[in-house]
Structure 1
Amino acid sequence: MNQLLWLAATIFIPAITAFQQDKDEFPLLMPKVTPELEETYLCTPIRLDTDDTYFITGFRPNATMMTAHHMLVFGCEEPGSSQPVWNCGEMSVKQPGLESSRPCASGDQIIYAWGMDAPELHLPEGVGFRVGADSNIKYLVLQVHYGHLDHIPSSGDDSGVFLEYTETEQPKTAGVLLMGTGGFALPHSTTYFETSCEMEDPRTMHPFAFRTHTHKLGKVVSGWRVRHRGEWELIGKMDPQKPQMFYPIEKDMEIKQGDTVAARCTMVNHRDRTTYIGTTAEDEMCNFYVMYWVWGKRPVTPNTCFTRGPPSWSWAGRYAGGLNNIPDVEASTL
């Protein structure tokens, strides 16, 4: 089997080595980093072999919530930095001595997310994330949000994920639609953080897994397909304080051009302060991920759906979502 990945010695560090030809798994791991500050976001890249096309079909996490608050794997056309490790948390704290940049300089798309000791993930038969030669994904970038430092060994941290892959052509291309909001929750309040977007891609999406993500205030996150602005069907919902894994969608569902995808995070803020959407554990986040497959060689575009969030944006707002027949109770209860 050909190498999945090759590394430019002038750019990448020796801790990530070339893949052995007789295996179908590759480690995308932090190169024994030693973060000095909690709430640091660090990124590390690998460059893909662009002579061949590969299909990622599974993810085996190598991390613990005692160290990593969450991890993301980005597919990029170009990474955010040419360094082996860099700060990549935008407004979060910065590791001294490291460059700061986004995970991707261009062509970014999320292909995996992990948190709270979620287990491994395997894609359905015939489905894979297309990377390498016949793909816009030329690099993979691992982002780790370090919530705690007490359990990092003196030799450094190697949190990350083992990628299961194949060279066999997969007829169905996997993708991830990321939904999220801005906004804030007032003290001692229950607040709905909502987002929705109309799908523009002409191909039919087949969602097969979903993931929710908030920080400490999230109680319920739900995602929906909405037809004709008022016909709602649940994609999935979950308590975001449970393992933030990709949960299977237990029914066949199609999302077509013109359908609306909508998500709500119900936040209960018992704090004496306003809590804003932000990057640290003391801020909040509202994210709903839809993992899907489509026929063909490219995932759908656009691949993100973000709104301003409360108090200026809502599902029902005349100049915002404009949705009808909103299932208020079902969207905020488990």
Structure 2
Amino acid sequence: MANNHMLRNVIFLVFVLFSKVIWGTDLKKFPLLMPDINPYKDEFYVCTPIKIVSDKNFYIVGFEPNATMNVVHHMLLFGCTTPGSDSSYWDCGEMAESESDGKLQKATPCNSGNHVIYAWARNAKPLKLPKDVGFLVGKDSPIKYLVLQIHYSKKFPDSRTDNSGLFLLYTQRPQSKLAAVLLLAAGGRIPPKAVTFMDVECKINENKVIYPIAYRTHTHSLGRVVSGYRVTRDEMDVDHWHLLGKRDPLTPQMFYPVFDRTPIRQGDKVAARCTMDSSSRNRFTEVGPTNNDEMCNFYLLVYVEYGTPLEMTSCYDMGPPNTSWETDQLNNIPEAEASSPFK
């Protein structure tokens, strides 16, 4: 299916020229949309790629969703060194069953160089990055492809198709601050009739200073509060918790400005907690891709002023009942603040 990539590459170049005629500025818009997909089954994950022009640098500075929550459960935009498939679209449920259903090839979104760039759910609004901040893709970036993943929770009737997706705002003018997304995710098992904390933390080991811009939360139906922190430790080995963001995950799942823009430095930790309420459920709930499962994700949008973004793009904890902030050796934990909704 290499011709599909070549065709979309040509479309990209044509659109660059067309954009300049329309806007007369260095900011352009590119449509990354599903190619008339028919979601033929429930809980359907599908990916479609574009190849970035290899001899040029592009800076993505904004995202305009072209989707509604009554059709699309959520969207993720991945930056890949190589995509999961050479097809123009494929079944890409990373956490779903490993066997193909025979209708589409099954593969992960990325074969190598997986970076989450953007995430959308629940009718979130467009996102525009701050001045001089952009995601570098193309020539001088490990991101050579963009892959759009959409999760359709319900199959479509008959042969109806969909072209939901994103409009990418981009420029070729170099941006002085390079953006990245750090994903914190917890696994685990949620017991019935209980309030359960799903915790995750990771240490910044790279010699870089990252500046938080915005955060996004994601759970399925059991999530009540998701909170994220920058954690610093003093000379007395006491942890100090600085709230980055806190949200009811059942509100629009867009990127919101962080509460604290203090830089995160080498040696600091980033931690997140999802408070799950299964008081109305009579069964155990596993982490998984469907609406009957759960997820606990905290996305942190950051930038660096010098050099390249963090090589670490995600971190995971096993979650309950195996791991928690306490088992991760964190202390002075703000239990009430982390797990209680704003009044």
Q: Secondary structure at the match of 1:68?
A: coil
The alpha-carbon distance between structure 1 residues 170 and 153, as it changes in their structure 2 partners (threshold 3 A), is farther
**What do residues 118-175 of structure 1 show as CA deviations (whole Å, max 9, x unaligned)?**
010000000000000010000000000001345x895511111000000000010000
TM-score (norm 2): 0.90
Q: Where do residues 182-331 of structure 1 align in structure 2 (5 Å cutoff)?
A: 182-228=187-233, 230-269=239-278, 270-317=280-327, 321-331=328-338
Name the SS of the counterpart of 1:17 in structure 2.
Answer: helix
Q: CA deviation at 1:15?
A: 12
The residue aligned with 2:120 is 114
1:201/1:96 CA distance change after superposition, 3 Å: same
Letter in structure 2 aligned against 1:204: V
Select the residue among 64, 70, 89 that pairs with 1:66.
70
Distance across 2 between alignment mates of 1:186 and 1:207: 34
The corresponding residue for 1:138 is 144
The answer to whether 1:333 aligns with 2:327 is no
Quote how far apart the aligned CAs of 1:238 are. Answer: 0.2
Structure 2 unaligned blocks of 5 or more: 20-27
In the TM superposition, residue 186 of structure 1 has moved relative to its aligned partner by: 0.5
Q: CA deviation at 1:91?
A: 3.8
C-alpha change, 1:157 and 1:13, in structure 2 (3 Å) is farther
* C-alpha distance in structure 1 between counterparts of 2:94 and 2:314, whole Å: 18
**Do 2:244 and 2:259's aligned partners in 1 also have CA atoms closer than 8 Å?**
no
Show the counterpart of 1:37: 41
The worse-fitting range, judged by mean Cα deviation, of 307-316 and 93-102 is: 93-102
TM-score of the two chains, using structure 1 as the length reference: 0.93
CA-to-partner distance for each residue in 1:195-232, whole Å, 9 max, x for gaps? 00110121111001000000000000000011015100
CA–CA separation in structure 2 for the residues paired with 1:220 and 1:155: 36
Distance 1:10 1:305 in 2: 33
8 Å CA contact retained: 2:189, 2:321: yes
Find the aligned partners of 1:194 and 1:91 in 2 and give their Cα distance.
20
- Give unpaired runs (5+ residues) of structure 1: 1-6
Q: Distance in 2 between matches of 1:11 and 1:98?
A: 18
- Tell me if the contact between 1:200 and 1:302 (Cα under 8 Å) persists in the aligned partners: no
Write the deviation string for residues 222-260 of structure 1: whole angstroms up to 9, x where unpaired.
Answer: 000110151000000100000000011244321100001
Contact 1:67 1:149 (C-alpha < 8 Å) held by counterparts: no
Three-state SS of the structure 2 residue aligned to 1:9 is helix
In 2: Cα distance, 1:296 partner to 1:153 partner: 52
Residue 169 of structure 2 aligns with an amino acid whose one-letter code is: E
Measured in 1, the distance between the counterparts of 2:90 and 2:2 equals 17
| Pairing partner for 2:85 from 64, 81, 87 | 81
- Structure 1: distance between partners of 2:4 and 2:252: 38
**Helix, strand or coil: the match of 1:56?**
strand
Structure 1 window deviating more from structure 2 (10-19 vs 300-309): it is 10-19
Distance 1:332 1:118 in 2: 23
**Structure 1 residue 265: Cα displacement:** 0.2
Contact kept, 8 Å, 2:47 with 2:149, in 1: the verdict is yes
Is this contact kept in 2: 1:26–1:162, CA < 8 A? Answer: yes
More displaced, 289-298 or 7-16? Answer: 7-16
Q: 1:308 to 1:251 in 2, by over 3 A?
A: closer
- 1:64 match: secondary structure: coil
Give SS of 2:73's match.
Answer: strand
Q: Does structure 2 conserve the Cα–Cα contact (< 8 Å) formed by 1:215 and 1:284?
A: yes
The equivalent residue for 1:17 is: 11
- Deviation of residue 12 (structure 1)? 6.2
Summarize the Cα distance change of 1:219–1:292 in structure 2 as closer, same or farther, 3 Å threshold: same
Q: Identify the residue that residue 97 of structure 1 maps to in structure 2.
A: 103
User: Which residue identity does 1:134 align to in structure 2?
Assistant: D
Is the CA contact (8 Å cut-off) linking 1:63 and 1:159 kept in structure 2? yes
Contact 1:183-1:277 within 8 A present in 2 as well:
yes
For 1:114 and 1:39, the matched residues in 2 are separated by 17
Q: Percent identity?
A: 47
The answer (yes or no) to whether the contact 1:209–1:291 under 8 Å persists in 2 is yes
Number of equivalenced pairs:
324
1:181 aligns with 2:186: yes
In structure 2, the residue matched to 1:4 is none
CA distance in 1, matches of 2:136, 2:124: 24
